[in-house]
Amino acid sequence: MRFEEFVSARLAALMRYAVLLSGDREYARDIVQEVLARAMLRWHRIGAMEEPYGYVRRMVTNEFLSLLRRRRRVVTVPLEWAGEQRLTVEARPEADDEMWQVLGTLPRQQRAVIVLRYYEGLTDPEIAEVLRCRPATVRAYASRALSALRVELAPVGERKGVLS
């Protein structure tokens, strides 16, 4: 698959994923743009993979989780941007969406697990691979996040396909 074909087919999905991770559209654009730039430079290898989307999604996740990257951004963004980010929750029309607000307060790893599990539909072992941790750690993150979100788990039978 050529890089242009990948972008054409997958950019929207990557953006949706990054928006859910970061809770901020501008930040999400920043992350996806940086990741795509780096992916483009290595496309001869990434494009030859069986599932390039999975690899690039992992790059997006790592970019979002990278502690040092976050510090760098804080220093370089214009003041207006910092303000915009701070106001994201209260200025949004969906500000009454309590669950979205709580999602925004979760530690990043927990938020990533929730998005990967319930939006991207990954299994816990797959999430563990993305986050480079053990499946047990994924389950612990999910448990803490769902507790904070006050989500009641459905009976085991109904969860098949998500946790299997």
Partner 1 sequence: MNTLEELRLTLERHAGGPEDSAGIAQGAEARAGSIRRRRRVAGSAVAAVLVVAAAVGVPVAVGRKSSEPPPPSSVVKPHYRDASQLSVAMADGSPFALTNRGGDGVGQFASIRNRGDITSPRPGEAGLNAGAELLAYNPGEFDPAKLKQGEQVTVAGHPAWFSTALTFAASNVVPEGIYPTIGWEESSGVWVLVYTSDDGWQGHEAGKKAQLTEVADDVRLPAVTGVRTPFQFGWVPQGLPVSYVSIRDLPGIDPDARIGFGKSGYPTMQDLASGWPLSVTSTPDTNRDWPTIKADLGSPATIGGRNVWYVPRPSTLNSSGSPTGADLVVETGNCLVYLSVPERDVIGERDLKRMATEMTVSSCTDAKSWKPPVKG
* CA dist., res. 111 & res. 90, Å (int): 19
Q: What would the two tokens of residue 77 be? A: 């963004």
**Minimum CB–partner distance for residue 102 and partner 1 (Å):** 9
| Given 46, 56, 88, 115, the residue binding partner 1 (CB under 8 A) | 115
**Minimum CB–partner distance for residue 25 and partner 1 (Å):** 5
| Given 5, 9, 49, 74, the residue binding partner 1 (CB under 8 A) | 74
| Given 50, 51, 94, 96, the residue binding partner 1 (CB under 8 A) | 94
Kindly report the backbone phi and psi dihedral angles of residue 111, in degrees, each rounded to the nearest multiple of 5, phi listed first.
-65, -40
Q: What would the two tokens of residue 124 be? A: 């816990």
* CA dist., res. 34 & res. 62, Å (int): 12
* CA dist., res. 17 & res. 56, Å (int): 11
**Widest Cα–Cα separation across the chain:** 49
Structure-token match 């915009």, residue found: 84
Q: What would the two tokens of residue 101 be? A: 């607000």
| Given 97, 125, 136, 143, the residue binding partner 1 (CB under 8 A) | 97
* Contacting positions for partner 1 (CB under 8 A): 7, 11-12, 15-17, 19-20, 23, 25, 28-29, 32-34, 36-38, 40-41, 59, 62-63, 65-72, 74-76, 78-80, 82-84, 86-87, 94, 97, 99-100, 103, 105, 107-110, 114-115, 118-119, 131-133, 137, 141, 149-154, 159
